[in-house]
C-alpha cells in the first residue's frame, strides 16, 4: 500500500506526450578529398559520438582525391564509436576514385537515385603527378589499391569482385546497379527518406532509431575552412603568382619591403602545398623557365622573342602543373589563361619599367653635380671654402686660390667635400 502513492504520482507526472526524438549528425563533402577533408571527417565523428547522435550521415559528392587522406578517413570510420552512413547525393552526384573507398568503408552505404560510383584506379600518390619511374612502381600502386579496397569490401561484407574491378579496370556504375550488385546497402531519394529507411537497421550491436530524427549540422571550424580553401590547385597557382610578383618586385625595387615579405610568405605556403598536392615537376620547371625568359628579355636585345617564349612556357607549365594529377586537382583554362595574361603584362609593364629606370642616366644626387658651374660663396683654397649647389651648402677646396663670387666648376667629390677649379681655367675649355 505504501508504494501505491509514489507510483501513482509518477504515473500522473510522467511526460507521456513529450517523446524525445533521436538526433542524427550530418556533414557535407563536395569536391576533392584532401588533408582538410580528412581532419573534418575525423572531428565530425568524434563530435557525433560525444553528443550521442544515433549516427553520422556524410553526404558525398567527389571526383576523387589523395590516397593518404582517403586512408585517414577510412581509419576514422573503423575507429568510430557511432555508426557512419555515407550518402552519395544529391541525384547526379558521383563517388569517384577516392569516393569509392570512402563509400564502401562506411557502416551503411547509401546513394541517391541516378547517382554513380566507380573509376577508382589509382592515378597519383604524392608530388610529381601520375608519372612513375617505371612500370614496376605503377603496378605496385595498383596492387596496393586493389588489395586495400578488397579488404574494405570484405570487412563491410560488400561485393569484393566489383570493388577490385573499380580499381583495376576503372569500372563505374549507377546507384541502381550498385544496389543490385550489393555494392551499397540502399537507395534513398532524399534525407527524410534516408532516415526512414535507416530506422531499425542493425549496425554491430546498435539498432538505429532514426525515424523522424532531427538532423544536426556539424559545420567546419575556421581552421578547416581555411585549409579546405588552400588545398586547391587554383589557390596554389594564385599563391605562386603572388610569390613571383612579390619577390621579383622587391628585387627590381630594393627597399620596398612589403612586396618581398608578401612574396616570401606566399612562397613558403606554396612549398608546403607542393609537398602535399600531386604537383608535376615538369610544370614547375616550365614556369621557372618562363620567369627567366621574361627577365632575360630586358637585358638581351631580342625584340620580344624571349617574352613570347616566356608566355608559351608559362602557359604550358600551368597546364602541366596538375595535368596528370588525381581527379579533382585539375586547373581549368578559366584560371590558366588569365594567369598567363596577367603574368606577361606584369613583366612587360611593371618589371620592364623598373629595370629601364635603373639604366637611365642619374638625374639627382651627387653624380649630377659633376661639371656644374656655380659662384663661390667664400674664398676657396686647398683647405677651406663654401659653395651653394643643388639647394645645399657644400665644403669646397681648390688647388688654385679662388675669390668670393668667382665662378667655379665641380671636378670631383670626396665624401662631403667638392673639389673645384676656376670656371675660366684652361683645363675646363673644350
pLDDT given for residue 11 in this prediction: 45
For 195-238, the pLDDT digits (tens) are: 999 999 999 888 999 988 999 999 999 888 888 777 778 888 88
Give the span between the Cα atoms of 151 and 157, in whole angstroms.
10
The neighbour count for residue 214, using CB atoms within 10 Å, is 13
Note whether 174 and 31 are same-domain residues.
yes
The neighbour count for residue 18, using CB atoms within 10 Å, is 6
Residue with cell 675646363: 428
Note whether 354 and 318 are same-domain residues.
yes
| In the predicted structure, residue 360 carries a pLDDT above the cut 70 | no
With b for 16 or more beta-carbon neighbours within 10 A and e for fewer, the 220-248 pattern comes to beeebeebbebbbbbbbbebbbbbbbbbb
Closest CA to 322 of 278, 263, 356: 278
Arithmetic mean of pLDDT, 20-36: 85
pLDDT given for residue 16 in this prediction: 40
Note whether 172 and 46 are same-domain residues.
yes
Give the span between the Cα atoms of 269 and 266, in whole angstroms.
5
Question: Does residue 18 or residue 208 have the better pLDDT?
Answer: 208
**Worst-scoring range by mean pLDDT, 16-20, 182-186, 362-366?**
16-20
Dihedral (C-alpha) 25, 30, 32, 35: value to the nearest 10 degrees? Answer: -30
Dihedral (C-alpha) 313, 318, 324, 327: value to the nearest 10 degrees? Answer: -170
pLDDT given for residue 148 in this prediction: 94
| In the predicted structure, residue 1 carries a pLDDT above the cut 90 | no
* Strands of the sheet with 417-422, listed across from one edge: 373-375, 407-414, 417-422, 392-397, 386-389
CB 199 within 8 A of CB 210: yes
Q: Would 66 be classed as within a structural domain? A: yes
Arithmetic mean of pLDDT, 327-348: 78
pLDDT class of 243 with cuts at 50, 70, 90: confident
Note whether 329 and 405 are same-domain residues.
no
Note whether 136 and 87 are same-domain residues.
yes
Note whether 194 and 108 are same-domain residues.
yes
Question: Where is 85: in which H helix or E strand?
Answer: strand 84-88
**Worst-scoring range by mean pLDDT, 14-18, 47-51, 87-91?**
14-18
**Worst-scoring range by mean pLDDT, 92-101, 318-327, 354-363?**
354-363
Average pLDDT score over the chain: 82
DSSP 132-182: -SSHHHHHHHHHHHHHHHHHHHHHTT--HHHHHHHHHS--EEEHHHHHHTT
Question: Where is 186: in which H helix or E strand?
Answer: strand 186-187
| In the predicted structure, residue 289 carries a pLDDT above the cut 60 | yes
pLDDT given for residue 40 in this prediction: 95
Quote the domain boundaries for residue 385.
366-428
CA distances from 272 to 73, 239, 240, 275, 288 (A): 22, 11, 12, 5, 18
* Chain mean position to CA 225: 12
DSSP 27-52: EEEES-B-HHHHHHHHHHHHHHHHTT
Arithmetic mean of pLDDT, 395-415: 87
pLDDT given for residue 186 in this prediction: 96
Question: Does residue 326 or residue 229 have the better pLDDT?
Answer: 229
pLDDT class of 81 with cuts at 50, 70, 90: very high
Q: Where are the alpha helices (DSSP H) in 200-280?
A: 222-230, 233-252, 258-274
Question: Does residue 14 or residue 258 have the better pLDDT?
Answer: 258
pLDDT class of 427 with cuts at 50, 70, 90: very low
Note whether 189 and 108 are same-domain residues.
yes
The residue among 359, 383, 401 that closes a domain is: 359
Note whether 275 and 179 are same-domain residues.
no
Q: Would 10 be classed as within a structural domain? A: no
pLDDT given for residue 231 in this prediction: 74
Note whether 217 and 244 are same-domain residues.
no
**Worst-scoring range by mean pLDDT, 244-258, 280-294, 410-424?**
244-258
Helices and strands per DSSP (H, E), number in the chain: 15, 16
Note whether 43 and 185 are same-domain residues.
yes
Q: Give the CATH number of the domain where residue 163 resides.
A: 3.90.226.10
pLDDT given for residue 80 in this prediction: 95
CB 387 within 8 A of CB 374: yes
Q: How many domains would you assign to the chain?
A: 3
3-class state of residue 292 by DSSP: helix
The residue among 175, 192, 224 that closes a domain is: 224
Burial class (CB in 10 A: 0-12, 13-18, 19+), 348: middle
| In the predicted structure, residue 404 carries a pLDDT above the cut 80 | yes
Arithmetic mean of pLDDT, 95-109: 95
Report the percent of the chain where pLDDT is more than 90. 34
**pTM, two decimal places:** 0.68
Amino acid at each position: 500500500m505504501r508504494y501505491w502513492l509514489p507510483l501513482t504520482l509518477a504515473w500522473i507526472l510522467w511526460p507521456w506526450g513529450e517523446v524525445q526524438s533521436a538526433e542524427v549528425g550530418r556533414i557535407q563533402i563536395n569536391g576533392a578529398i584532401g588533408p582538410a577533408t580528412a581532419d573534418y571527417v575525423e572531428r565530425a565523428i568524434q563530435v557525433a559520438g560525444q553528443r550521442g547522435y544515433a549516427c553520422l550521415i556524410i553526404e558525398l559528392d567527389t571526383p576523387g582525391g589523395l590516397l593518404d587522406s582517403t586512408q585517414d578517413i577510412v581509419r576514422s570510420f573503423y575507429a568510430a564509436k557511432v555508426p557512419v552512413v555515407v550518402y552519395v547525393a544529391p541525384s547526379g552526384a558521383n563517388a569517384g576514385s577516392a569516393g569509392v573507398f570512402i563509400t564502401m568503408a562506411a557502416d551503411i552505404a547509401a546513394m541517391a537515385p541516378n547517382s554513380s560510383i566507380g573509376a577508382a584506379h589509382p592515378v597519383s600518390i604524392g608530388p610529381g603527378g601520375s608519372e612513375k619511374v617505371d612500370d614496376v612502381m605503377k603496378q605496385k600502386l595498383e596492387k596496393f589499391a586493389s588489395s586495400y579496397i578488397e579488404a574494405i569490401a570484405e570487412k563491410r561484407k560488400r561485393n569484393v569482385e566489383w570493388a577490385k574491378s573499380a580499381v583495376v579496370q576503372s569500372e563505374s556504375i549507377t546507384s541502381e546497379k550498385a544496389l543490385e550488385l550489393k555494392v551499397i546497402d540502399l537507395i534513398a531519394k532524399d534525407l527524410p527518406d534516408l532516415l526512414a529507411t535507416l530506422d531499425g537497421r542493425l549496425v554491430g550491436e546498435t539498432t538505429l532509431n532514426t525515424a523522424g530524427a532531427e538532423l544536426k549540422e556539424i559545420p567546419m571550424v575556421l581552421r578547416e575552412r581555411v585549409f579546405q580553401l588552400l588545398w586547391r590547385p587554383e589557390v596554389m597557382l594564385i599563391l605562386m603568382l603572388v610569390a613571383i610578383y612579390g619577390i621579383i618586385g622587391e628585387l627590381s625595387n630594393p627597399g620596398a619591403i612589403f612586396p618581398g615579405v608578401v612574396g616570401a610568405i606566399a612562397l613558403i605556403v606554396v612549398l608546403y602545398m607542393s609537398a602535399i598536392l600531386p604537383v608535376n615537376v615538369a610544370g614547375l620547371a616550365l614556369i621557372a623557365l618562363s620567369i627567366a625568359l621574361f627577365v632575360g628579355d630586358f637585358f638581351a636585345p631580342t625584340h620580344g622573342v624571349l617574352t613570347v617564349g616566356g608566355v608559351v612556357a608559362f602557359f604550358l607549365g600551368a597546364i602541366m602543373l596538375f595535368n596528370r594529377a588525381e581527379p579533382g586537382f585539375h586547373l581549368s583554362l578559366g584560371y590558366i589563361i588569365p594567369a598567363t595574361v596577367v603574368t606577361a603584362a606584369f613583366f612587360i609593364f611593371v618589371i620592364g619599367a623598373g629595370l629601364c629606370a635603373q639604366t637611365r642616366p642619374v638625374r639627382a644626387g651627387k653624380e649630377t653635380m659633376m661639371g656644374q658651374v656655380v659662384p663661390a660663396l667664400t674664398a676657396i683654397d686647398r683647405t677651406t671654402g663654401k659653395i651653394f649647389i643643388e639647394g645645399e651648402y657644400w665644403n669646397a677646396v681648390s688647388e688654385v686660390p679662388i675669390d668670393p663670387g668667382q665662378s667655379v666648376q665641380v671636378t670631383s667629390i670626396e665624401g662631403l667635400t667638392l673639389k673645384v677649379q676656376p670656371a675660366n681655367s684652361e683645363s675646363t675649355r673644350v
